[in-house]
A and B are shown apart, each in its own frame.
Chain A
């Protein structure tokens, strides 16, 4: 290190035309007079916010009941241009907001190459979690981008009960066999790689649309919960006193509240919609996370680096934003990754018992649809069931690995 020092000194001294600014030379009065400016990230966030608001306004005011997006896109592997028709729903808008917010939350990490590398090296040691991460990324991209390019499966009586590819079923079970019939058995085709339901809907397409539903439920409701929990938890810890008391007693009350029955009630009144489900779970499911955040933030508040920031003149809000929240983020991220599978499973369960949005091809719905045919067409329930199982498992692996990776106090 001493050698480096000499070297850098030499190179600095070699440029007498541009002496480095020293801290004594800073004209603080000029900086005080200059006022504050938004950082680039801040500007980008403001721009994104405005863009989002404009698009939302367009959807509400101009597009109205028509599809929000109706465009032809040239796809190289198809002769005719694919039409992208997308009528953004309320859930889609929430989802977009979630992704935007998530993106900006990751900016500090993305910018800090060394920290990113450090976390990644620690994360990589958990092989199941790495596999889970790729699986979830695939699910996420298929569910968000992929669904734009495929049509929602519809009733097709000519293609009911088709078996998956490489599987076969007695030819009497499908009304008509799309694939080849060999020795009285109907074989699957590439047209329906995962088979079809009793209504002739392709299970692959259903599964992909199910990914969208699951990701939307898991991500939106969890981000809502995290946002509220972080706000409440850090406020309680940082303000202390009666604010802390009031907020935490409210959490106690909310924790006793039966979310499930509230949803039943609303589903009965207004019909089960995904929007209601997401909002209900998001707005009532943050109590536990808020408690974790609060207890962690209470410890962080006493740390000397918080004291140092205070002695530097940083405001309470900026200390919470810059020091407290990042340092409780490992708890938040872990709680979040374990909250998502719970929500995905809850949505599947509600759909299974018929309380979900009947128009949406969620996994739970497909599993329910196939349960009467298990003896003859095992794949209808099994395929979405496997996706559900793998997704839950992946999130759990991810949560465990993140908890280990994000804790900087455990030195390697």
Chain B
């Protein structure tokens, strides 16, 4: 709060504070409605994330589109005012910076963007664009700016004479190099790269990454790389933080996390990385659907609606796969807009005998069709679960969807939806937030009975 005095007493093992230390960062966007901007809720784009970047370290923030990665980076740099949380840069509280300090911070923490095409002003030459941060920060000497810009352009692999060219005369890769030059020209300590190579061809991508890695070594640059490309992460980064719907679900050293992912979401992401060998046998990742709406995130573990490893309730003895299908059935039924019998018939129509007219379908046949349509087995091995499912399908077929939803929601419950998993250490410098993960013992115990009744803290 006061100023950037060293918290030496607080963290004795590491006298040097991390370059960037984000604690409990929150960014909510209010949703307003109507003439008087009535508050009707908030989009929880970033909902309490922790992140550190050490000097010279490359940290990846990964996740699907729309999970809040970019928002988190922008909030950490105070390009958007964070709703809550602290950001320490080199030991100083960024959220407490005044205008002048924030401007100096902008010089030391730089940002590059995904799209090199629109990140240059079409009316300025590359040299003018690269020199802009210099003049913004008070370097009035035109010739000096020019010298620095030319030197920087050469160091990112461009020609000094490119300073006189216009953005539309450069290729995407050249523009991204120029963008890197613009970021580096103020000699930053931290570089936040928001999908820096996603818009580029594969070969150009490799060149840019190589350049980035070289400059990072040369300059001792801390890099926060935001990407959805796990290949880039494996190649370039030291540590990784996996983000899902505004929260970090797992973090740790890249090698450790990628070789033994602790969180089902990380496993799913890794499973979806394309392998250039069609012969490689792969298990289906089970990651279906889109990231849910951040304005109304799922309760408990936010990933539970899509989790391929969602935990079954204790009272039933079900195989993991069967339970998952059952749970997906529950989610789909409650997610479905109000449906009467005709809708159900339409829904299950692919499983019905086409010879029978829709209005003549027998209830028994429809019940079986519904089960097939939702990929449910004909009979569940657990009798109690079977009787619940049978009643629910019956209600559904009778057109009483609300009752079916109520029944399913009261019977087929999971700890994943009722409780938020706490973050647990899963190894050296590793953390994951999942009910399946035991303390400091990653993945060793994925059986269900061992799941402790964890409190939220």
B164 contacts the other chain (CB 8 A) = yes
Residues of A near B79 (CB, < 8 A) are: 307, 310-311
Answer whether A26 and B133 are a contact pair too, CB < 8 Å, given A31-B138, A36-B140.
no
Alpha-carbon distance between A259 and B144 when the two chains are bound, in angstroms = 52
B123 touches A5 (CB 8 A): no
Alpha-carbon distance between A31 and B144 when the two chains are bound, in angstroms = 12
Alpha-carbon distance between A392 and B54 when the two chains are bound, in angstroms = 66
Residues of B near A262 (CB, < 8 A) are: none
Alpha-carbon distance between A112 and B147 when the two chains are bound, in angstroms = 18
B184 touches A409 (CB 8 A): no
Answer whether A312 and B123 are a contact pair too, CB < 8 Å, given A26-B187, A28-B107, A408-B168.
no
Closest to A22 in B: B151
B168 touches A411 (CB 8 A): yes
A304 touches B119 (CB 8 A): yes
Residues of B123-170 contacting chain A, CB below 8 A: 123, 125, 129, 132-133, 136-140, 142, 144, 147-148, 150-152, 154-155, 159-161, 164, 166, 168
Answer whether A303 and B118 are a contact pair too, CB < 8 Å, given A20-B147, A21-B147, A311-B111.
yes
B385 contacts the other chain (CB 8 A) = no
A327 contacts the other chain (CB 8 A) = yes
Main secondary structure of the interface of B (DSSP, over half): helix
A313 touches B123 (CB 8 A): no
Alpha-carbon distance between A21 and B140 when the two chains are bound, in angstroms = 16
Closest to A2 in B: B159
A305 contacts the other chain (CB 8 A) = yes
Closest to B148 in A: A23
Residues of B near A114 (CB, < 8 A) are: 125, 164, 166
Out of A4, A35, A309, A313, which one reaches B102, CB within 8 Å?
A313
Answer whether A308 and B102 are a contact pair too, CB < 8 Å, given A24-B187, A24-B219, A37-B140.
no
Alpha-carbon distance between A9 and B122 when the two chains are bound, in angstroms = 29
Report B98-129 CB contacts with A as 1/0, cut-off 8 Å.
00001110110011010100111111010001
A8 contacts the other chain (CB 8 A) = yes
B136 touches A309 (CB 8 A): yes
Out of A35, A37, A307, A313, which one reaches B107, CB within 8 Å?
A313
Alpha-carbon distance between A35 and B139 when the two chains are bound, in angstroms = 9
Alpha-carbon distance between A43 and B139 when the two chains are bound, in angstroms = 17
A313 touches B148 (CB 8 A): no
Main secondary structure of the interface of A (DSSP, over half): helix
Out of A1, A305, A311, A409, which one reaches B120, CB within 8 Å?
A305
Residues of B near A154 (CB, < 8 A) are: none
Answer whether A8 and B160 are a contact pair too, CB < 8 Å, given A20-B147, A21-B147.
yes
B152 touches A23 (CB 8 A): yes
Residues of A near B263 (CB, < 8 A) are: none
Residues of B near A26 (CB, < 8 A) are: 139, 148, 186-187
B132 touches A312 (CB 8 A): yes
A51 contacts the other chain (CB 8 A) = no
Closest to A118 in B: B166
B243 contacts the other chain (CB 8 A) = no
Residues of B near A23 (CB, < 8 A) are: 148, 151-152, 184-187
Alpha-carbon distance between A311 and B110 when the two chains are bound, in angstroms = 7
Answer whether A304 and B139 are a contact pair too, CB < 8 Å, given A23-B152, A115-B123, A313-B107.
no
Highest count of chain A CB atoms <10 Å: which of B118, B184, B185: B118
Residues of B near A8 (CB, < 8 A) are: 154, 159-161
Closest CB in chain A relative to B199 CB, distance in Å: 11
Residues of A288-325 contacting chain B, CB below 8 A: 303-305, 307-314, 318, 322-323
Alpha-carbon distance between A35 and B140 when the two chains are bound, in angstroms = 9
A32 contacts the other chain (CB 8 A) = yes
Highest count of chain A CB atoms <10 Å: which of B120, B137, B150, B168: B137
B77 contacts the other chain (CB 8 A) = yes
B328 contacts the other chain (CB 8 A) = no
A39 contacts the other chain (CB 8 A) = yes
Out of B103, B118, B120, which one reaches A313, CB within 8 Å?
B103
Highest count of chain A CB atoms <10 Å: which of B77, B125, B144, B187: B187
Closest CB in chain B relative to A404 CB, distance in Å: 15
Answer whether A1 and B121 are a contact pair too, CB < 8 Å, given A21-B151, A312-B132, A408-B168.
no
A103 contacts the other chain (CB 8 A) = no
Closest to B192 in A: A311
A49 contacts the other chain (CB 8 A) = no
A34 contacts the other chain (CB 8 A) = yes
A308 touches B123 (CB 8 A): no
A326 contacts the other chain (CB 8 A) = yes
Out of B129, B152, B161, B186, which one reaches A305, CB within 8 Å?
B129
Residues of A83-123 contacting chain B, CB below 8 A: 112, 114-115, 118
Report A266-305 CB contacts with B as 1/0, cut-off 8 Å.
0000000000000000000000000000000000000111
A4 touches B185 (CB 8 A): no
Closest CB in chain B relative to A293 CB, distance in Å: 16
Answer whether A313 and B185 are a contact pair too, CB < 8 Å, given A20-B147, A26-B148, A304-B118.
no
A314 touches B136 (CB 8 A): yes
Alpha-carbon distance between A205 and B339 when the two chains are bound, in angstroms = 87
Report B183-224 CB contacts with A as 1/0, cut-off 8 Å.
011110000000000000000000000000000000100000
Alpha-carbon distance between A310 and B80 when the two chains are bound, in angstroms = 11
Alpha-carbon distance between A8 and B115 when the two chains are bound, in angstroms = 30
B140 touches A28 (CB 8 A): no
B182 contacts the other chain (CB 8 A) = yes
Report A383-412 CB contacts with B as 1/0, cut-off 8 Å.
000000000000000000000000011010
B123 touches A326 (CB 8 A): yes
Residues of B near A24 (CB, < 8 A) are: 187, 219
Residues of A near B119 (CB, < 8 A) are: 304-305, 307-308
Closest CB in chain B relative to A283 CB, distance in Å: 29
A31 touches B137 (CB 8 A): yes
A309 touches B132 (CB 8 A): yes
Out of A39, A115, A308, A313, which one reaches B113, CB within 8 Å?
A308
Alpha-carbon distance between A21 and B185 when the two chains are bound, in angstroms = 11
Residues of B near A31 (CB, < 8 A) are: 137-139
Residues of B near A32 (CB, < 8 A) are: 104, 137-138
Out of A9, A20, A312, A323, which one reaches B121, CB within 8 Å?
A323
Closest to B164 in A: A114
Answer whether A311 and B107 are a contact pair too, CB < 8 Å, given A31-B138, A37-B140.
no
Residues of B near A411 (CB, < 8 A) are: 168
A312 touches B106 (CB 8 A): yes
Closest CB in chain A relative to B370 CB, distance in Å: 47
Alpha-carbon distance between A112 and B121 when the two chains are bound, in angstroms = 15
B159 touches A311 (CB 8 A): no
Alpha-carbon distance between A115 and B127 when the two chains are bound, in angstroms = 13
A305 touches B139 (CB 8 A): no
Closest to B188 in A: A23
Highest count of chain A CB atoms <10 Å: which of B119, B164, B184, B219: B119
B110 touches A327 (CB 8 A): no
Closest to A327 in B: B123
Report A328-339 CB contacts with B as 1/0, cut-off 8 Å.
000000000000
B132 touches A314 (CB 8 A): yes
Alpha-carbon distance between A36 and B104 when the two chains are bound, in angstroms = 15
Report A32-51 CB contacts with B as 1/0, cut-off 8 Å.
10111101000000000000
Top 5 nearest A-B pairs (CB, nearest first) are: A313-B106, A304-B119, A312-B133, A313-B103, A311-B111
Instruction: Sample 6 A-B pairs with CB under 8 A, ordered by A number.
Output: A118-B166, A305-B119, A311-B106, A313-B136, A327-B121, A327-B122
Binding site for A on B (CB under 8 A): 77, 79, 102-104, 106-107, 110-111, 113, 115, 118-123, 125, 129, 132-133, 136-140, 142, 144, 147-148, 150-152, 154-155, 159-161, 164, 166, 168, 179, 182, 184-187, 219
Sample of 5 more A-B contacts, CB < 8 Å, known A23-B187, A28-B104: A4-B161, A24-B219, A28-B187, A112-B125, A312-B186
